[in-house]
Amino acid sequence: MRILFAWEFGAGMGHLSPQRELLTLLKKRGHEVHVAARDVGRAERAFDGLGFTVWQAPIAMGAPDPVLTITATVAHVLHNGGFGDTPGLLARSHAWDSIVHAVDPGLVLTEYAPTLLLALRGMSIPTAALGNGFVTPPRIHPAPVFDILVGQLPPGTSTSEAGTLESVNTVLTERGQRRLDALTDLYNDGPLPLLKTLPELDHYGVRENALYMGSPAPPPGDPPNWPDGEGPRVFAYLKPTQGIAAIVYQLSQLGHPTLIVGDGVPDEIKRRLGAENLSFAPRAVELREVVKTCRLAVANGNMGTVSHFLLHGIPVLSAPISLEQRIMAGKIDDIGAGLVVTAKSGAGTGDAARRLLEEPSFRSSAEDFASRQSQFRELSYEARVMAELEKLTTL
């Protein structure tokens, strides 16, 4: 069987690398895996050596008109991602048609690929929508305002999904397909939502009768090479932001051995802020080894990274960049297992890190969280997904 895995929205390896083991299992069963990715370079790196066929996914180019400066609902996210441009959305749906017809898959797996979900309507191809809570919203009409923005929106901000829904329905009508009653039906009426998250870390809150798959095992990496230094070990996985230098400097001033994976952090910053107790790993490191001795994780809020540390009872200091990461950081704060600083300035990083290391309540809350999620350690993400896929089709 040919299997199509597709990634359209979002950025970063977090949409690809966590699925490596799942796709490898499918290949080992004799299936031919095709990958349609918004960034084919990242796809080649994420799935290096596996022999998958990689296609360029159709993506929106340029900014929408108008750009929504406040993204308060999934409708706003889709609008800014190209759903507000009806002719462009129709064209991209036709481009997805071409890929689907060329691959002729017996199974489609999507990771944040809403235009493909639109294009698949009426095709009768078994489809599973993989992804965390943010990228796989629940069936709610109208789409709700994200929790962290409730009560925070400027007066007059529209939260209606009508414009985006009409754009989708215009395209569906043009394609001869039934119109949607609600925007979130795109994710829940047809595809099988398999949530790549833990219930308490669901961006929309715990859902009744949802299929939670847990968090994928972290991708393999280099052995961690910890620098010298006294005290608890600190691990950071950070992308370049306006405040990255301030964050790194304050971590170095703690005096603890600190290992940083800087995804795109400029070499100039690495050289300028180097210290005996701080080092930058040249590539991804083996997180399974890191958690054995690490006492604090610092991250922007990538679901896969933070969940791995929380599942091992390790508190997390979040410096979120995107709205999705801000919501995740809020979830960690809610369970008492972390604190949040601003990625724009990095202000307060040192004080927050000290609190997370010295105040026992954070460690205790992280360990309690890990205990509540024990079922997701007993049966892996990959095993759970495979069991659900076998109900969709013959594997």
Domain range summary for the chain, segments of one domain joined by +: 2-216+380-392, 233-377
Evaluate the CA torsion angle 355, 230, 310, 373 in order and state its sign.
negative
In the numeric block, the tokens 């932001």 are attached to: 241
pLDDT value for 349: 98
Closest CA to 108 of 118, 91, 120: 120
Evaluate the CA torsion angle 35, 41, 47, 49 in order and state its sign.
positive
- pLDDT higher than threshold 90 for residue 274: no
Tens digits of residue pLDDT in 184-203: 999 999 999 999 999 999 99
DSSP-based three-state secondary structure for 339? strand
Tens digits of residue pLDDT in 277-292: 999 998 899 999 999 9
Reported as type and span, the H/E element at residue 367 is: helix 360-372
Residue 314 and residue 187: Cα distance in Å, rounded? 33
- pLDDT higher than threshold 90 for residue 156: no
CB hemisphere CA count around 379 (13 angstroms): 9
pLDDT value for 133: 96
pLDDT value for 183: 96
pLDDT value for 360: 98
Question: Which CATH fold would you assign to the domain 2-216+380-392?
Answer: Rossmann fold (3.40.50)
The two tokens of residue 381 are: 């993400």
Q: Please report, in angstroms and rounded to a whole number, the separation of the first and last CA atoms in the chain.
A: 8
Task: Give the CATH number of domain 233-377; options: 3.20.20.80, 3.30.710.10, 3.40.50.150, 3.40.50.2000.
Answer: 3.40.50.2000
Mean per-residue pLDDT, 111-116: 98
The domains spanning 2-216+380-392 and 233-377 adopt the same CATH topology: yes
Closest CA to 4 of 64, 43, 47, 53: 53
Residue 183 and residue 254: Cα distance in Å, rounded? 48
- pLDDT higher than threshold 90 for residue 172: yes
Residue 143 and residue 100: Cα distance in Å, rounded? 29
